[in-house]
């Protein structure tokens, strides 16, 4: 459907160009005065301009081959290539990451509402936050802006089993600096059974905890799902705490 509409728009624009060429040729006919020629040329320019605008305007928003909405009501970042949840268009990823932190677009500008909901629904069985004991003791669960990055509980289970006590493997999977879990910086796990109570959302990359390894689309470097919740005022009965032994 999108292709057919694109062809229709192109046809209208082509017709406008053809009209312009035809009318301009008329001004070359002997006997047509200079003033008349100027008037016709201006009329042609205006008509062609309007025809092109109409061609673009008449293309209604439709889904492209990847299911993303395009058209006048679609996202600003229509180049998204979505699987079920991920942004996989490297150009788009690089574009968003190049924007200074604090100015990056909301994910709703490059994902449809249904895609975002599909992503967040993966956290309905619980979310988990893996962090250092040192940071937990010093700051608590939340970052300075009151937010926390979380992964799904299932992904946390899988990651811990796969890493099998390898701190470096954990750092790479979570996008953390080298030696983050070394030098006595022990790992703790925070489980949040009901993240919907804490304003769960897809990360924008503007969060205090977003580092240079952040990836647009709610994914970690190992392709685990990622989301953000508000934990500045989290109650003790809203999370479970575990020490992880390497």
Per-residue pLDDT reduced to its tens digit, 47-56: 545 544 443 3
Of the pLDDT bands very low, low, confident and very high (cuts 50, 70, 90), residue 170 is confident
Per-residue pLDDT reduced to its tens digit, 118-144: 999 999 999 999 988 888 998 899 999
Looking at the structure, tell me whether residues 218 and 147 fall in a common domain.
yes
β-pairing verdict for 187-192 and 127-132: antiparallel
Q: What is the pLDDT of residue 42?
A: 55
- Domain C-terminal end among 41, 59, 77: 59
Whole-angstrom distance, CA of residue 246 vs CA of residue 164: 8
- Domain C-terminal end among 44, 59, 74: 59
Q: What's the rounded mean pLDDT across residues 210-229? A: 90
Tally the domains of the chain. 2
Neighbours of 21 (CB within 10 A): 11
Whole-angstrom distance, CA of residue 124 vs CA of residue 139: 26
For 201, the 3-state DSSP assignment is strand
Query: Dihedral, CA atoms, 94, 99, 103, 106, nearest 10 degrees?
Result: -10
Percent pLDDT > 70 in the chain is 63
- For the whole model, what pTM was predicted? 0.62
Print the domain residue range for 125: 120-244
| Tokens 């949040």, located at residue | 192
For 244, the 3-state DSSP assignment is strand
Torsions phi, psi for 116 (to 5 deg): -65, -45
- pLDDT above 90 for 1: no
Mean pLDDT of the chain: 73
Q: What's the rounded mean pLDDT across residues 100-111? A: 93
Q: What's the rounded mean pLDDT across residues 77-104? A: 69
Neighbours of 152 (CB within 10 A): 20
| 223 neighbors 119 (Cβ within 8 angstroms) | no
Domain assignment present for 232: yes
Structural tokens at position 181: 């879990």
Domain assignment present for 13: yes
Q: What's the rounded mean pLDDT across residues 178-206? A: 89
């Amino acid at each position: 459907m999108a292709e057919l509409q694109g062809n229709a728009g192109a046809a209208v624009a082509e017709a406008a160009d053809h009209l312009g060429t035809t009318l301009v040729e008329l001004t070359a006919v002997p006997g047509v005065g200079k003033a008349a020629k100027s008037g016709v040329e201006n009329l042609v320019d205006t008509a062609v301009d309007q025809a092109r605008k109409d061609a673009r305007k008449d293309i209604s928003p439709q889904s492209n081959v990847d299911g993303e909405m395009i058209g006048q009501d679609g996202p600003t970042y229509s180049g998204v290539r979505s699987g079920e949840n991920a942004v996989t268009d490297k150009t788009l990823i690089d574009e968003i990451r190049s924007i200074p932190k604090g100015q990056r677009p909301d994910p709703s500008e490059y994902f449809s509402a249904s895609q975002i909901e599909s992503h967040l629904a993966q956290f309905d069985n619980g979310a988990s936050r893996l962090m250092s004991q040192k940071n937990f003791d010093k700051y608590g669960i939340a970052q300075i802006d009151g937010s926390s990055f979380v992964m799904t509980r299932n992904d946390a289970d899988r990651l811990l089993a796969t890493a099998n006590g390898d701190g470096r493997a954990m750092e790479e999977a979570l996008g953390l600096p080298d030696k983050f879990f070394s030098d006595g910086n022990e790992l703790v796990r925070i489980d949040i059974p009901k993240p919907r109570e804490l304003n769960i959302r897809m990360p924008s990359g503007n969060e205090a905890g977003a580092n240079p390894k952040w990836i647009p689309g709610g994914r970690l470097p190992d392709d685990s799902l990622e989301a953000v919740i508000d934990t500045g005022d989290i109650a003790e009965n809203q999370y479970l705490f575990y020490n992880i032994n390497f």
